[in-house]
Amino acid sequence: MVYDANINKNIFLLLIIYYFYKKKSLLQINLSDIKNNRLNGFRAHSAMSPQCRLKFPDKSTSDKARHSSVLLLLLKISYETHIVFIKRSDSGGVHSRQISFPGGAVEKSDNSLQETAIRECREETGIKMPVQIIRKLSDLYVPPSNFLIHPFVAYIDQNIEDFKANPLEVDKIFTENVLNFLKDDFRDVYHYYHNGKACSAPCFLSNGYAIWGATAMILNEFLQLIPKNFINLQKT
């Protein structure tokens, strides 16, 4: 009986260690892999591209575009890595009321595209803590607004409760566990109309919203940076 009790105790301790390894390892493993793994923007973007999207532009087209930067911002919630999203306010613009990453247009006072992303994120979400830039993702041209988006992956050590939406630009701030986007239940097809034509787009689902278009395309490239063996470990 003593022998069996010791075995059970050891198994119990191993389960506890494994549980906390899974919970705490996400940032320790993932950030380094995300920083170093190879980008494949065109393939990742194409997989989530809307049906009605214009052909991917050549360099001459994107040279005429306006420039903007967005921040795919990561933070910890209960030892799990989440991504920050915003629901844009109803401003009457092309992307009004859509789900997106914090970000916006480059201004003359910005010293870099990275600075644009951080400045816009602070303005829209009220973040105060320092932002750690992890890496840049592939640029993405958005035909409806003629913006060339420069996405950056970043991490912030700040509670989501301390975020404060700018009511002039943002209706809501919410997060989603990164690994949820790897599950089939968090993927669907979004149907919409463009210039009177019925269109559809692959999308991610979160908090009752469809994440589609440029945001989904950028998110998909980020997800492809997560190593497959690590994904399998976290799913077990």
Mark residue 103 as left, alpha or beta (left: phi above 0; alpha: psi -120 to 50; beta: remaining).
left
Range of the domain at 192: 2-235
Report the pLDDT averaged over residues 196-202: 91
CA 156/CA 27 separation, integer angstroms: 12
Question: Between vectors from CA 187 to CA 84 and to CA 132, what angle results, nearest 5°?
Answer: 25
- 57-71, 80-94, 195-209: which has the minimum mean pLDDT? 57-71
Looking at the chain, the whole-number percentage of residues with pLDDT higher than 70 is 78
Q: What is the dihedral of CA 214, 194, 204, 213, to 10 degrees?
A: 0
**pLDDT value at 23 more than 60:** no
CATH, residue 42: 3.90.79.10
Report the pLDDT averaged over residues 12-29: 52
Cα 107 to the chain's mean position, in Å? 23
Looking at the chain, the whole-number percentage of residues with pLDDT higher than 90 is 62
Tokens for 119?
A: 């400045």
Residues 112-159: pLDDT tens digits?
999 999 999 999 999 999 999 999 999 999 988 889 999 999 999 999
**pLDDT value at 189 more than 60:** yes
List 200's β-bridge partners, or say none: 191
Residue-level pLDDT at 236 = 46
Residue 190 contacts residue 210 (beta carbons within 8 Å): yes
**pLDDT value at 215 more than 60:** yes
CA 28/CA 22 separation, integer angstroms: 11
List 66's β-bridge partners, or say none: 147
Q: What is the DSSP string of 178-203?
A: GGGGGSGGGEEEEEEEETTEEEEEEE
Tokens for 154?
A: 């970043």
Q: What is the DSSP string of 116-167?
A: HHHHHHHHHH---S-EEEEEE---EEETTTTEEEEEEEEEE---GGG----T
Q: What is the reported pTM?
A: 0.83
Residue 53: in which H helix or E strand, if any?
none
Provide the domain count of the chain: 1
Q: What is the dihedral of CA 17, 22, 26, 28, to 10 degrees?
A: 20
Centre a 10 Å sphere on the Cβ of residue 230 and count the other Cβ atoms it contains: 15
